Chains A and B, each alone.
Chain A
Amino acid sequence: GAVVSQHPSRVICKSGTSVKIECRSLDFQATTMFWYRQFPKQSLMLMATSNEGSKATYEQGVEKDKFLINHASLTLSTLTVTSAHPEDSSFYICSAQGRNGYTFGSGTRLTVV
């Protein structure tokens, strides 16, 4: 079946630094990649949608200069959290849309100290 590999699974970073999260579709081409954020006890909130080779579309209230998304190929998308702050601590999940629907990555637990 379709697999999306997401790395790292956990990361702790200092306030003010940047963190890059990678999502790779291993056995299919992901035409579209979705990036979600999930705070404790809350549901998944869509941050942005990206199509290969084009600029990402950000949801209202999500700062595009803070959450940089690159979708350079049909198998790789990255989310970079720039100048991270403690309030950015969350569970970040990618989801790739391929021919057979949506496949989620395993998530990245980001803790900013």
Chain B
Amino acid sequence: QKEVEQNSGPLSVPEGAIASLNCTYSDRGSQSFFWYRQYSGKSPELIMSIYSNGDKEDGRFTAQLNKASQYVSLLIRDSQPSDSATYLCAVKVGTTDSWGKLQFGAGTQVVVTP
């Protein structure tokens, strides 16, 4: 069983619509969660981090965390063609805060169509 699971996609979204991405994780003790965007051939760039249950908004992005259900989601509002990328869900694992490693999901490819 994979520790961090995402739908691989591609998720096709019309320009201006909302893209909804989901991620589930297996380690119930995980406390830190991250969404990264990765363009083809580039390294990941951080979109958002979330640590508490509920919603966290940053511009057009909203992350949602539900620790009881072990899922974290990302909503992209008013999707733009420049949002077309692979979105990686990452969960911090490890027993010490000083060097917790990240476990990545396989990523969801998003394609925003004009």
Chain A residues within 8 Å of B, Cβ to Cβ = 6, 31-32, 34, 42-46, 49, 51, 91, 93, 95, 97, 101-102, 104-107, 109
B104 CB within 8 Å of chain A: yes
Determine the distance from Cα of A92 to Cα of B96 in the docked complex, in whole angstroms. 25
* Nearest CB of A to B45, in Å: 7
Which listed residue (B49, B99, B104) contacts A97, Cβ 8 A? B99
Is B42 in contact with A43, judged by CB distance below 8 angstroms?
A: no
Do A34 and B102 contact each other (CB < 8 Å), given the known contacts A102-B46, A107-B42? yes
Q: Could you pull out 16 A-B pairs where Cβ atoms are within 8 angstroms? A: A32-B99, A34-B101, A42-B106, A43-B104, A43-B105, A43-B106, A43-B107, A46-B101, A49-B101, A93-B43, A93-B44, A101-B46, A101-B49, A104-B45, A106-B43, A107-B42
The 10 closest A-B pairs by CB, nearest first: A32-B99, A107-B43, A43-B106, A104-B43, A44-B104, A43-B104, A93-B43, A106-B43, A43-B107, A104-B44
